[in-house]
Amino acid sequence: MSELTAIYYIWRRELIRFSRSKSRIIGSLAMPFFFLAIIGTGLGSVVTVANGSYLDFMAPGILAMVVLFGSIFSGVIVIMDRQFGFLKETMVAPVRRTSIVIGKALGGATTAVIQGLLMLGIAMLLGAHIEMVDILPAVALMFMVSVMFVSLGIAIASTMEDMQGFQLVMNFLVMPMFFLSGALFPLTTAPDPIRWLSYINPMTYVVEALRYLLTGTSTMPIAVSGGILGFSLVLSVLLATWLFNRIES
């Protein structure tokens, strides 16, 4: 019971902090917006993908991007908590570290899904075809995926001392994850090395699953992408808990 209360308040803290930083919300949507508005519509006139417009093909990929960036950032806030000292307060509190990780993961996921929904609205305004009935399943998937990525962020942050490392993570992990996910181009026609790399990238399955839920078509069955994501989710939460538990500040 007390652990649940603690989880609730930690979840709420993430939301309060998110709602107070307008620049974070705008900043997180700016790049995906430009991708979709410029590349999506610009390439749309020359490229056709499978059975639909390029914008329709790209929208789920960009949505996945918003969720990925937003979630990783939420997780990495642990580094800032450490720098500003708040981490110490949570470290000596009589709350299980697992509960802290869960509260943070749920809070970060909630904010990532809010960003995802905003992006979904933008995509629809730009002319992407998305059915209303598909939104709810997509939100559920986004939430699950966010928990996974926030946990990954927490796991990474637990091993870092300061925000300098964050740039490395963005450049050498998050950006490649995005570009190697089939968010921007179909993987079926991509060169072999890229295809193989994409198969070990959890982000690929996020894009596949979202594309399936929003457009009804994908290159792999939802059972496969969903199954792999479920497995990755458990793995990343365990990893985050383990590494967060080892923090000694």
Partner 1 sequence: MQRTEGVNAIEVEGLTKRFGALAAVDNVSLTISNGEIFGLLGPNGAGKTTLISMLVTMKRPTAGHAKVNGYDVQKQADKVRESIGIVFQDSSLDEELTAYENLELHGAMYNMDRKEAEARIKEVIKMVELEDRLHHIVKTFSGGMRRRLEIARGLLHCPDVLFLDEPTIGLDPQTRQHIWSYIKKMQKERGITIVITTHYMDEADLLCDRVAIIDHGKIIALDKSSALKDSLGGDILSIETPCSDKLKEAFGKLAWVGEAKCHDGSLTLRVTKGEQRIPVLMEIARKKGIAVESVSLHKPTLDDVFLHYTGKTIREEEVSPNESLRARVASRRRSG
> Which residues of this chain interact with partner 1, rule CB under 8 A?
2, 5-6, 8-10, 13, 16-17, 20-21, 81, 84-96, 248-249
CB of 115 to partner 1, least distance (A): 18
CB of 245 to partner 1, least distance (A): 11
CB of 87 to partner 1, least distance (A): 8
CB of 147 to partner 1, least distance (A): 21
- Give the residue with the Cβ less far from partner 1, 131 or 162: 162
Given a contact cutoff of 8 angstroms between Cβ atoms, the answer to whether 145 and 99 are in contact is: no
- Give the residue with the Cβ less far from partner 1, 83 or 171: 83
Q: Residue 184: CB partners within 8 Å, gap ≥ 6?
A: 39, 58, 61
Coil/strand/helix, residue 159? coil
- Give the residue with the Cβ less far from partner 1, 87 or 105: 87
Q: What are phi and psi of 49, to 5 degrees?
A: -120, 125
- Give the residue with the Cβ less far from partner 1, 87 or 207: 87
**Distance of alpha carbon 154 from alpha carbon 176, whole angstroms:** 19
Rounded to 10 deg, the angle between the 97-125 and 222-245 helix axes is 140
